[in-house]
Chain A
Amino acid sequence: MNPMQPYATHVAIRDGKILSVGGADDVKQWGDAEIVDTFSDKVLMPGFVEGHCHLMEGAMWDAVYVGYYDRRGPDGRRWPGLTSLDAVIERLKAAQSEMTSADAPLLAWGFDPIFFGTQRLSVRELDTVSAKRPIVILHASVHLMNVNSPMLARAGIDEETDIDGIDKDESGQPTGELQEFAAMFPVYREIGAGLSIAASESTKAIWNFGRVAQLAGVTTATDLVNDFSESGNRNLREVTASADFPVRIVPAFAPQRSPEGGAQRVLSAMETATPKLHFGPVKFIVDGSIQGFTARLKWPGYLNGKPNGLWLIPPSQFVEVFTPFHEAGLQLHVHTNGDEATELVLDAFERLLTLHPRRDHRHTLQHCQMADASQLARAASLGLCINFFSNHIYYWGDAHYTQTMGADRANRMNAAESARRLGIPFAFHSDAPITPLNPLFTAWCASQRETASGRVLGANERVPIADALRAITLGAAYTLKMDHLVGSIEVGKFADFAVLAEDPAEVAPQRLKDLEVWGTVLGGRIFQAPAG
């Protein structure tokens, strides 16, 4: 990723950092070294940087994966995607037969009914897995769940329960589909911390997260909503201190969830940073999701006529809310999915930067999926970075085309090539656990723009391969203000590499997502991935 030295045959490492890059003779200038030829037939890339994902990915693997797409667990096991409801039921049955405790709840995650047309999972099918043991299936969106009859009974939900969010069939019986916070709350009470943000603080979840990241070649990853709780911080410190932990973690402070302490909380945390635990980003969320119809859209709104989405912060308060963090010199990462949300956040940044000018702030729009050309031009002139949710093109692109946005706006979504032409620093992300953590796949999405059905969304927004690879390394590092530490193979940076079997710059672009990741190197230490 260093344009002055895009290729080299040798890299020398000392104290976990890159000492020298070049040919064998170049690196020998530093004296004799132990030669490691493990990688002589491999390609070393800078370790991948995932600028928007969540430790919750690690917590999810305590439950059974029932998603539509293939996914690899922390142990490297590949869980094939389940493309029919029958297959979902079969996997649940298999999991249930392995459970030792008779009445412990069976938890599953990653389910997405959007791929099954009008077919829905209901208590009827789930009760065939078990009519005694409570079963809970969290959807990929994490805003819905399906449960079976024993779970409904435990939660006290029956035909008399008369609130929105409890789906019912024609005869008035609950189907077991529970939507949004209130309907899911009684279930969370029964299953404890399982499948929740709080669960992602545990040491086990952090370890599992690290392993999932490592499998995909990731050496630096964010936790883009972190509670900064005492126990969470202690666990992160303990786990990342282990030489065996394969990833550098960047937790982002989220004042909307845990406002206490404000900017000072981040500044104090920064003083305790270690090479593997980096603080600085502050996360704000201003609207919802497009596929959940909660993103704030400009006219003409949702294609299927759903009402406009939700604000999580009143737009008139953006400037007031951002200011203390901006003035403290911190970096803001603002979730804006819909184009109305993006527009008002741009307005806010314009005002903020007029009132309190700051050089090199690197405030970043996260997701920014629907931004149009004029908004991108403003983002460029305001010096903002953008981290696009490019995986959406593949996973929900068809839904965006037919249900949420319609052809024209779906074609321009996650407009990374426009951003590149405007010189906007950009990255791509997975938002794991919402989609799988796999930067090569994400780079493939941005460079090919194919949906799951094979439709190409906006071929003119395809990003050249070289730029896509930069986005998942140095580009993402830049959006985290870590480009002096990671993101390229340059003297003085951490010796973090993704080890690939083939050169992604040489293979056909369509194959980018299929490249084998042999493993990673973190600070000079080799982490071979289990065979997948």
Chain B
Amino acid sequence: MNAIPLVVIGGYLGAGKTTLLNHILSNAGSRRITVLVNDFGSINIDASLIRQRTDDVINLENGCVCCSIGGRLVEALLAISSRTDAPDLLIIEASGVSDPVRIAQIGLLDRAFRLDGIVVLVDAERVEETLADPYVGDIAQRQIAGATAIVLNKMDLLGEPAREAVKARVEALANSRVIVQTTHAAVPLGLVFEEGHPLPARSIGAMPLSASPTPRDLCSFSFVTDACLSRKKLKEALRSFSAKLLRAKGFVRLESDGALHELHVVGNRAVISASPARTCAQSQIVLIGMFDREDESIARAALKAAEVGA
């Protein structure tokens, strides 16, 4: 059973979660995306995308599906994981006051799902007000802290000094440095799904993931080595630059048993699991994140240090 990639979208009311969904669904290409809206109330999907809708399920022209599941998340996830035609990507839209990390953990634990990101939207114009709210400020803060990628949305409504202030405010609360600035939640699609091939065949160096003009530093590079890696040091290495990492995946040969293991990293969470036999002798990791040239060499050096004998 292949794990279904999972992205959880969070953010306080009005931050643009539905706008982001529409952006993703209208750029889904050939991907079959299933969206679960873990909230109540109607879903506002662009009418032009909709083929057919009932009270709680919307079928889109491009084969994607959008379901309003209210509070029945467990039931919905059980149903999806037992389906034979698994979606290419599962997106869960968390409610405006929920902590998306709580939902995202399913993708770090259950074999049926694989977490690819916790994307939290921030309404740049109103975030100060929300954070100062005596009743929900603490929740908004938790959302930002738990994100593996942050979308500063509605930046067009702010002037330059205000933009900088908002960015600084969010950076002070966030653990992730994968922060993109958008208007109308038009994020680079690489933030949500892979646009390139799934696994690296060779070192490809830094290259832009998307044709979108922003952000210019969301990029990927791969790390390849013939040496065995120490599990402990590898985790340490990944943690050392996790703030700038969106996600990483690959196969690593571990010192403990000399066998190849599958590696999957989202933000500061690394999952190393036994992998079915693979013939490739090399360890290969593809990393995607907000790396400039200098960050990339620091990250490479950190990974290099995890090699046994290094």
Residues of A bordering B, CB below 8 Å: 156-157, 160-166, 180-183, 185-186, 188-189, 196, 198, 227, 254-261, 296, 307-308, 310-317, 321, 340, 344
The A-contacting residues of B in range 40-90, CB under 8 angstroms, are 40-41, 55-56, 68, 70-75, 77-78, 81
The answer to whether A259 and B99 have CB atoms under 8 Å apart is no
Complex A-B: 22 CB contacts under 8 Å:
A156-B110, A156-B111, A160-B271, A160-B272, A162-B270, A181-B103, A185-B74, A185-B110, A186-B109, A186-B111, A189-B81, A189-B112, A254-B71, A259-B70, A313-B95, A313-B97, A314-B12, A314-B97, A315-B135, A317-B13, A321-B41, A340-B135
Residues from chain B with a CB closer than 8 A to the CB of A260 are: 55-56, 68, 70
Q: Is there contact, CB below 8 Å, between B13 and A157?
A: no
Assess whether A256 is in contact with B81, with CB atoms less than 8 Å apart.
no
Residues of A near B77 (CB, < 8 A) are 185
Shortest beta-carbon distance from B231 to chain A in Å:
9
Contact B40 A255 (CB under 8 A): yes
Please determine whether B97 and A312 come into contact, CB atoms closer than 8 angstroms.
yes
Q: What's the Cα separation between A156 and B108 when bound, in Å?
A: 11
With a cutoff of 8 Å between Cβ atoms, the chain B residues found around residue A198 in the complex are 75
B74 touches A181 (CB 8 A): yes
Contact A314 B105 (CB under 8 A): no
Q: B157 interface residue, CB < 8 Å from A?
A: no
Near A by CB (< 8 A), chain B positions 122-166 give 135-136, 138-139
Given A189-B78, A260-B55, A314-B136 contact (CB < 8 Å): yes
Known contacts A188-B74, A256-B40, A257-B70; can you find 14 more A-B pairs with CB under 8 A? A161-B108, A163-B109, A182-B103, A182-B106, A227-B72, A255-B40, A258-B71, A259-B56, A310-B97, A311-B136, A314-B12, A314-B97, A316-B13, A340-B135
A residues near B98, Cβ cutoff 8 Å: 310, 312
Residues in chain A near residue B270, CB distance under 8 A: 162
Tell me which residues across on chain B come within 8 A of A317, comparing CB atoms: 13, 96
Q: How many angstroms between the C-alpha atoms of A256 and B273 in the bound complex? A: 37
State how many angstroms separate the Cβ of A40 from the closest Cβ of chain B.
50
B105 touches A257 (CB 8 A): no
Give chain A residues whose Cβ lies under 8 Å from the Cβ of B103.
Answer: 181-182
Q: Does B102 contact A (CB under 8 A)?
A: yes
Inter-chain contacts of B13 with A (CB < 8 A): 314, 316-317
Q: Are B105 and A164 in contact (CB under 8 A)?
A: yes
Tell me which of A181, A254, A314 contacts B96 (CB under 8 A): A314
B269 within 8 A of A: yes
A312 and chain B: residue at smallest CB distance: B97
What are the interface flags for B228-256 relative to A under an 8 Å C-beta threshold, 1 for contact and 0 otherwise? 00000000000000000000000000000
Leading 3 A-B pairs by shortest Cβ distance: A182-B105, A259-B40, A257-B71
The reply to whether B271 and A307 contact each other, CB–CB distance below 8 Å, is no
Residues on A with C-beta less than 8 A from B56 are 259-260
By the criterion CB–CB under 8 Å, are A255 and B70 in contact?
Answer: yes
Query: Which residue of the partner chain B has the closest CB to A313?
Result: B97
Q: Which residues of B contact A166 (CB under 8 A)?
A: 109
Complex Cα–Cα for A198 and B136 (A): 31
Which residue of chain B is the closest to A192 with respect to CB atoms? Answer: B78
In the complex formed, the residue of A with least CB distance to B105 is A182
A410 to chain B, nearest CB (A): 24
Residues on B with beta carbons closer than 8 Å to the beta carbon of A340? 135
> In the bound complex, do residue B109 and residue A185 qualify as a contact, i.e. CB atoms below 8 Å apart?
yes
Q: Do A344 and B110 touch (CB < 8 A)? A: no
Known A-B contacts A181-B74, A256-B70; the reply to A163 vs B97 at CB < 8 A is no
> In the docked arrangement, what's the CA distance between A296 and B75, Å?
27
Complex contacts, A261 vs chain B, CB 8 Å: 55
Residue among B77, B110, B138 having the largest count of chain A Cβ atoms under 10 Å: B110
A89 to chain B, nearest CB (A): 27
Q: Which residues of B contact A315 (CB under 8 A)?
A: 135-136
Task: Say yes or no: B72 contacts A257, CB within 8 Å.
Answer: yes
Which chain A residues border B105 with CB–CB below 8 Å? 163-165, 182-183
Complex-state Cα separation, A147 to B95, whole angstroms: 30
Q: Which residues of chain B have C-beta atoms less than 8 A from A160's C-beta?
A: 271-273
Closest Cβ–Cβ distance, residue A350 to chain B (whole Å): 16
Q: How far is the CB of A325 from chain B (nearest CB, A)?
A: 12
* Contact indicator per residue, chain B 2-29, by CB within 8 Å of chain A (1) or not (0): 0000000000110000000000000000
**Given A160-B272, A182-B106, A260-B56, A188 and B78 contact (CB-CB distance below 8 Å):** yes
- Smallest CB-CB separation from B42: which chain A residue? A259
Q: How far is the CA of A165 from the CA of B102 in the complex (A)?
A: 9
Name the residue on B nearest A189 (C-beta): B78
How far apart are A1's CB and chain B's nearest CB, in angstroms? 36
How long is the Cα–Cα vector from A516 to B183 in the complex, in angstroms? Answer: 68
Cα of A344 to Cα of B97 in the assembled complex, Å:
15
Could you tell me the distance between the alpha carbons of A163 and B269 in the complex, rounded to whole angstroms? 8
Residue of B111, B135, B136 with highest tally of chain A CB at under 10 A: B135
Chain A residue numbers with a CB within 8 Å of B71 are 254, 256-258
Complex CA gap A196/B271 in Å reads 29
Instruction: List B contacts of A157 (CB < 8 A).
Output: 109
A258 to chain B, nearest CB (A): 5
Bound CA–CA A43/B304 (angstroms): 83
Give the CA-CA distance A330 to B93 in the complex, in Å.
Answer: 29
Assess whether A344 is in contact with B135, with CB atoms less than 8 Å apart. Answer: yes
Q: Which chain A residue has the least Cβ–Cβ distance from B261?
A: A160
CB-CB under 8 A for A181 and B102, given A310-B97, A312-B97, A316-B13: yes
Tell me the nearest residue of chain B to A284, going by C-beta: B40
Is A307 touching B78 in the complex (CB atoms < 8 A)?
Answer: no
Q: In the bound complex, what is the Cα–Cα distance between A198 and B14 (angstroms)? A: 32
Q: What residues of B have a CB within 8 angstroms of the CB of A313 in the complex?
A: 95, 97
Closest chain B CB from A6 CB (angstroms): 44
For B272, the chain A residues whose CB sits under 8 A away are: 160
How far apart are the CA atoms of A160 and B256 in the complex, in Å? 14
Q: Provided the pairs A255-B70, A257-B70, A317-B13 are in contact, do residues A308 and B138 lie with their beta carbons within 8 angstroms? A: yes
- Taking the closest CB of chain A, its distance from the CB of B294, in whole angstroms, is 29
Minimum C-beta distance from B263 to chain A (A): 12
Taking CB atoms, residues of chain B closer than 8 Å to A227 are 72
